[in-house]
Chains A and B, each alone.
Chain A
Amino acid sequence: DTGVSQNPRHKITKRGQNVTFRCDPISEHNRLYWYRQTLGQGPEFLTYFQNEAQLEKSRLLSDRFSAERPKGSFSTLEIQRTEQGDSAMYLCASSWTDRTNYGYTFGSGTRLTVV
């Protein structure tokens, strides 16, 4: 297993365009998380899935953001009508979460620049 894979690594887009990022988690992991990280800050929680069910969305996630995890495998995060404030690193993480294990594995992220 090669860990959590995110594509693309970098994305430059014009304001107003739509973008989609993909995350492939570790195959046996039941949970998948999306976080956003801006320069000099810690990651901020956006949303998470248990298998294919999206269980929680942060108030940070405006209506322009949508995430899916069809069949409980890979996940996509789409941002519609991008704004300059959306520029950030988008991190995906997965975990096998049960009563004894809580640890995440993060991917290397997708860096979004909105110009």
Chain B
Amino acid sequence: GENVEQHPSTLSVQEGDSAVIKCTYSDSASNYFPWYKQELGKGPQLIIDIRSNVGEKKDQRIAVTLNKTAKHFSLHITETQPEDSAVYFCAASIRGGGNKLTFGTGTQLKVEL
């Protein structure tokens, strides 16, 4: 089955700096890669996603890049704000697999004032 590795496990940045979180996946049949933000006591919230036919996608301060050859994808957050502090999860799903997601282990992002 699919295996997704995520790093770093914790990340601390100063407000206004950029944050980058990286993930690798094992199954070359994976074709959908979402990123979720989870705040304490809440369920994960989809913040951005990318499909395998696209190399990069942006949404305001958030961007995701995908390298299919290397089987890795990254989340980039620019101009970080305190409200960006949360746990971020990457995930992958395999084509034809019912869109069930395999998640990484999460990155605790802390944006310091």
- Residue numbers of A with Cβ under 8 A of B are 4, 31, 33, 40-45, 48, 50, 55-56, 91, 93, 95, 97, 102-109
The yes or no answer to B28 lying at the interface (CB within 8 A) is: no
CA distance A56 to B101 in the complex (A): 13
The listed residue (B32, B41, B98, B103) touching A44 by CB distance below 8 A is B103
**A42: B residues at CB distance < 8 A:** 4, 6, 89, 91, 103-106
Q: A42-B91, A108-B43 are in contact. Are A97 and B99 (CB under 8 A)?
A: yes
- Residue numbers of B with Cβ under 8 A of A are 4, 6, 32, 34, 36, 41-46, 49, 51, 89, 91, 93, 98-106
Q: Are A102 and B98 in contact (CB under 8 A)?
A: no
Q: Are B46 and A105 in contact (CB under 8 A)?
A: yes
Q: A31-B99, A41-B105 are in contact. Are A104 and B46 (CB under 8 A)?
A: yes
The listed residue (A40, A55, A104) touching B98 by CB distance below 8 A is A55
Q: Closest residue of chain A to B48, judged by CB?
A: A103
CA distance A91 to B106 in the complex (A): 16
Q: Are B106 and A48 in contact (CB under 8 A)?
A: no
Q: Closest residue of chain B to A55, judged by CB?
A: B98
The listed residue (B6, B44, B99) touching A95 by CB distance below 8 A is B99
CA distance A102 to B32 in the complex (A): 8
A sample of 18 cross-chain residue pairs with beta-carbon separation below 8 angstroms, ordered by A number, consists of: A4-B43, A33-B100, A41-B105, A41-B106, A42-B4, A45-B102, A48-B98, A50-B98, A55-B98, A56-B98, A91-B44, A95-B99, A102-B34, A102-B51, A104-B34, A104-B46, A108-B42, A109-B42
Q: Are A43 and B103 in contact (CB under 8 A)?
A: yes
CA distance A108 to B105 in the complex (A): 19
CA distance A102 to B52 in the complex (A): 13
Q: Are B41 and A108 in contact (CB under 8 A)?
A: yes
Shortest distance from the beta carbon of A70 to any chain B beta carbon, whole Å? 20
**A103: B residues at CB distance < 8 A:** 34, 46, 49
Q: A33-B100, A45-B100, A56-B98 are in contact. Are A106 and B45 (CB under 8 A)?
A: yes
Shortest distance from the beta carbon of A47 to any chain B beta carbon, whole Å? 9
